[in-house]
Structure 1
Amino acid sequence: MSIRELRVVRLPHGADLPLPAYQSDAAAGLDLLAAVPADAPVTIAPGRRALIPTGLVIALPPGTEGQVRPRSGLAARHGVTVLNTPGTIDADYRGEVQVILANFGDAPFEVARGSRIAQLVIAPVLHVDVRLSETLDETARGAGGFGSTGLHGAR
């Protein structure tokens, strides 16, 4: 399998939906679609979440991961996002791709069949050898984190 190939199997409940696709030539993510029943859309109440099926099983190239990310339009317009963003799909996972959507908006949000619900970005993964050490090299930042570099850019 080429690193540029994503093999996909459609499950029966996603058989009529288009395959994931880039929406522009320079898009980073493939759009994932909701494979909910046409006669039973999923409504996510404010403050709630739902696991939405895509009807797809994928085989990622070795040495990559699938990152499930929110769609900016859903977040900006409706307050709907991917809860565990980015969600990671490991290259050896062979179950259905599903998306945890959370509604942080003020109104219920309806997920209809074929709705574009998330993006799938395929990214390289680096495996490392973990080694115990007594000390680490010093850096200018040190242990500073969680806002330690400030709120505003340099002035």
Structure 2
Amino acid sequence: MDSTGSIRVPAILPESGAPVYSTEVSSGADLKAALDGAVVLKSLERALIPTGLFLEIPPGFEAQVRPRSGLALRRGLTVLNSPGTIDADYRGEIKVIMVNLSAEEVTILPGERIAQIVFAPVIQAVFEEKSRLPGTERGTGGFGSTGV
């Protein structure tokens, strides 16, 4: 990280240019669809949408692909495997698995902002084998066990 808290990420950029942060303090930069023509998604249909972006993410970081809230609210489009994780050693094109959760057909246009990318530090765990784990108040209570 540099003195501003930013990381430098070498990239092969699509024709539309680098991902753009919408505001000065946005955590996610918008990814655009690098399409030759429109893609129509029927209700509950999914598609792999290319972005034309290739990254060299620094070791110790990951990129996360997340939905854009406006697309989800207004059109029912979201990122299927959210967040999608891009590891530092991946060098292929960034593509986004989009799904249409609305009841209507939705069209994705070339150059449309489809998702956002967020960079985060990575901490890898060292797993220590144990025969028992210490108890807690919650114990083995899973989904919904702490109340509504």
Could you list the per-position Cα deviations for residues 70-101 of structure 1 after superposition, in whole angstroms to 9, with x for gaps in the alignment? 00001011111000000000010000000000
Determine the structure 2 residue equivalent to 1:117: 114
Return the letter of the residue paired with 2:11: V
Determine the structure 2 residue equivalent to 1:86: 83
Determine the structure 2 residue equivalent to 1:8: 11
Residue 128 of structure 1 and its aligned partner are, at CA, apart by 1.5
Determine the structure 2 residue equivalent to 1:58: 55
Could you list the per-position Cα deviations for residues 34-66 of structure 1 after superposition, in whole angstroms to 9, with x for gaps in the alignment? 0001xx211111110000000011011110111
Residue 22 of structure 1 and its aligned partner are, at CA, apart by 0.7
Return the letter of the residue paired with 1:97: I
Determine the structure 2 residue equivalent to 1:33: 32
Q: Distance in 1 between matches of 2:130 and 2:117?
A: 36
DSSP-derived class of the 1:135 partner:
coil
Determine the structure 1 residue equivalent to 2:23: 24
TM-score under structure 2 length normalisation: 0.93
Residue 142 of structure 1 and its aligned partner are, at CA, apart by 1.1
Give the alignment's Cα RMSD to 1 decimal: 1.3
Return the letter of the residue paired with 2:24: D
Q: Distance in 1 between matches of 2:140 and 2:88?
A: 33
Residue 18 of structure 1 and its aligned partner are, at CA, apart by 2.3
Determine the structure 1 residue equivalent to 2:127: 130
**Runs of 5+ consecutive residues of structure 2 not aligned to the other structure:** none
Are 1:49 and 2:53 matched, yes or no? no
Q: Distance in 2 between matches of 1:145 and 1:28?
A: 31
TM-score under structure 1 length normalisation: 0.89
Q: Distance in 1 between matches of 2:10 and 2:136?
A: 43
Q: Distance in 1 between matches of 2:121 and 2:137?
A: 29
Return the letter of the residue paired with 2:137: A
**Runs of 5+ consecutive residues of structure 1 not aligned to the other structure:** none
My pick for the range that moved more, 125-134 or 47-56, is: 125-134
Q: Which runs of 4+ in 1 moved over 3 A?
A: none
Q: Distance in 2 between matches of 1:31 and 1:82?
A: 13
